[in-house]
């Protein structure tokens, strides 16, 4: 029996709300280890997963802005090294969790202590940066929430982790990691989508209720195309960073690793159902449904902006331009070959080494960074996608903004670049260290689409 999900608009029963995690105090121990969890609907067996502290997704770590994160990672995976990367955090380089670049990989049975100040409020996530495709695909991902001292007034604050699993029909995670077809095409797309590891999030709400929804895409390849029904939605933050003004939206794209904080007002009436839905090839499906019942909440003014995080100055006129051209993959290939592990190789030799993509002719990590910036320098990077696939480009340690005609886009740490498109980003290299700059579709990352920059 194939795994299927409930279609958008279909009726249903049952509801369950996830409990909110308490604020973390003292050292938190996080063990990455294999376990079993019921992911597929009842009737299927539990799935063998890899999880942080026995749960997929890992528990939500909640802190207040200005707190110190203090986490001991324990590697309980029997067969692989691991690390934790704190995605989107502007942290000291040594805490960034990139094996061989910022720390030694953590061997099975070993531990590593992460300790740093949480200067920014917002929605972040954590995941391994070792053998990322397999480790994230098997379930190693969790959300980190840093609360604003003055959080907006809402009736509920929810984390919704969107994920995409490639399952065999017996609800076993398909072991096709590193399949060359995925690497050279759109990545490891799955066949089973979950929200907080369930087929659908369901939560009863009052008419007029105001919710904060923290959407996090932990999938390794799927770009979600989201729609709303029975609710008014405003984006208040992307990738943890507040917008100057909340933006009313009717739809929303969420690429791998991206987060969007929404404030939504339920407009559906008692007896109806509001929903967040995902448009997919074979239909539109509810990811989260909000049956409406009870007495109406009075209507409210549109939501205000979140308190801003402290962001560095961007001086575009004084910026150095460092173009990045993405090439490779199925359909287009690497006609001029590329430099891989210090050797110039042709496309065929690269493919035999499982490498399909290049940034500026460089395939994968190089001895020297693609950019050396001095601390505080402003850098513009026009990212040109000459491949036939979209890519979600992520910079570690610093946020960037897109350069638009007559202004800037929102602060982000991950930007989706469509085929044949150039998107120019600009950032202030304010954080010293060695930082990865890579596609956040690990199938692509591991087959050429990763490089690094040095800020000193
Ligand atoms: Cu989410 Cu290189 O990371
Ligand atoms: Cu990619």
What residues flank ion ligand 2 with Cβ within 5 A?
391, 439, 441, 444
- DSSP secondary-structure letter at 42? B
The 8-class DSSP code of residue 413 comes to S
Number of the ligand 1 atom closest to the C-alpha atom of 98? 2
Give φ, ψ of 442 to 5 degrees: -60, -25
* Residues 317-349 pLDDT 10s: 889 999 999 999 999 999 999 999 999 999 999
pLDDT for the residue numbered 82: 98
Q: Is 396 in the pocket of ligand 1 (CB under 6 A)?
A: yes
CA 377, distance to chain mean position in Å, is 27
- Determine the pLDDT at residue 6: 54
Ligand 1 atom nearest residue 436's Cα = 2
pLDDT for res 22: 66
Nearest ligand atom owner, CA of 132:
1
Q: How far is the CA of 222 from the centre of ligand 2 (A)?
A: 11
Task: Indicate whether residue 87 lines ligand 1 (CB < 6 A).
Answer: yes
* Closest ligand 1 atom to 127 CA: 1
Token couple for 4: 């299927």
* 450 Cα nearest atom in ligand 1: 2
Domains annotated on the chain, with CATH: 28-147 (2.60.40.420), 156-291 (2.60.40.420), 316-455 (2.60.40.420)
Residues (pLDDT < 50) of the chain are 1-2, 8-20
395 CA to centre of ligand 2 in angstroms: 13
The residue nearest atom 1 of ligand 1, judged by CA position, is 87
**8 Å CB contact between 314 and 408:** yes
pLDDT at 299: 79
234-236-241 Cα angle (round to 5)? 155
Give the C-alpha separation, 340 to 344, whole Å. 6
pTM: 0.95
Distance 276 CA to ligand 1 centre (A): 26
Atom of ligand 1 nearest to the CA of 438: 2
Distance in angstroms (rounded) separating the CA atoms of residues 239 and 87: 9
pLDDT tens string 271-317:
999 999 999 998 999 999 999 999 997 778 999 999 999 999 999 88
* Residue that the structure tokens 């720390």 belong to: 103
Q: Which bound ligand lies closest to the C-alpha atom of 133?
A: 1
Report d(CA 19, CA 164) in Å as an integer.
23
CA 268 to centroid of ligand 1, rounded, Å: 38
pLDDT of amino acid 45? 95
State whether the beta carbon of 436 lies less than 6 angstroms from ligand 1: yes
């Amino acid at each position: 029996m194939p795994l299927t999900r409930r279609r958008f608009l279909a009726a249903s029963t049952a509801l369950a709300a996830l409990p909110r995690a308490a604020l973390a105090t003292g050292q938190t121990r996080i063990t990455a280890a294999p376990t079993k969890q019921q992911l597929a609907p009842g009737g299927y067996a539990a799935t063998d997963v890899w999880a942080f502290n026995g749960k997929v997704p890992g528990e939500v770590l909640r802190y207040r802005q200005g707190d110190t994160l203090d986490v001991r990672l324990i590697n309980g995976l029997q067969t692989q090294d691991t690390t934790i990367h704190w995605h989107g955090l502007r942290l000291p380089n040594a805490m960034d969790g990139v094996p061989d670049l910022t720390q030694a990989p953590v061997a099975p049975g070993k531990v590593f202590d992460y300790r740093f100040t949480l200067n920014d409020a917002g929605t972040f996530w954590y995941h391994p940066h070792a053998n990322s495709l397999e480790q994230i695909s098997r379930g190693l991902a969790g959300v980190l929430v840093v609360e604003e001292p003055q959080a907006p007034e809402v009736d509920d604050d929810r984390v919704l982790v969107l994920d995409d699993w490639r399952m065999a029909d017996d609800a076993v995670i398909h072991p096709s990691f590193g399949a060359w077809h995925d690497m050279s095409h759109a990545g490891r797309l799955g066949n089973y989508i979950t929200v907080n590891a369930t087929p659908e999030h369901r939560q009863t709400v009052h008419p007029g209720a105001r919710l904060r929804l923290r959407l996090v895409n932990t999938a390794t390849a799927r770009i979600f195309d989201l729609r709303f029904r029975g609710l008014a939605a405003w984006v208040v933050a992307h990738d943890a960073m507040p917008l100057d003004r909340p933006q009313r939206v009717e739809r929303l794209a969420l690429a791998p690793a991206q987060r969007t904080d929404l404030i939504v007002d339920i407009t559906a009436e008692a007896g109806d159902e509001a929903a967040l839905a995902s448009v997919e090839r074979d239909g539109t499906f509810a990811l989260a449904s909000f049956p409406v019942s009870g007495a109406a909440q009075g209507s409210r003014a549109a939501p205000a902006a979140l308190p801003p995080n402290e962001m560095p100055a961007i001086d575009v006129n004084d910026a150095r331009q460092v173009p990045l051209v993405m090439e490779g993959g199925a359909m287009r290939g690497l006609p001029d070959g590329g430099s891989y592990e210090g050797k110039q190789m042709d496309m065929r030799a690269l493919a035999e080494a499982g490498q399909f993509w290049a940034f500026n002719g460089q395939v994968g990590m190089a001895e020297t960074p693609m950019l050396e910036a001095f601390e505080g320098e402003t850098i513009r990077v026009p990212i040109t996608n000459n491949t036939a696939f979209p890519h979600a480009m992520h910079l570690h340690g610093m946020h960037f903004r897109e350069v638009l005609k007559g202004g800037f886009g929102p602060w982000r740490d991950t930007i989706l670049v469509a085929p044949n498109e150039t998107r120019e980003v600009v950032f202030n290299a304010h954080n010293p260290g060695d930082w990865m700059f890579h596609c956040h579709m690990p199938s692509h990352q591991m087959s050429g689409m990763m490089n690094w920059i040095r800020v000193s």
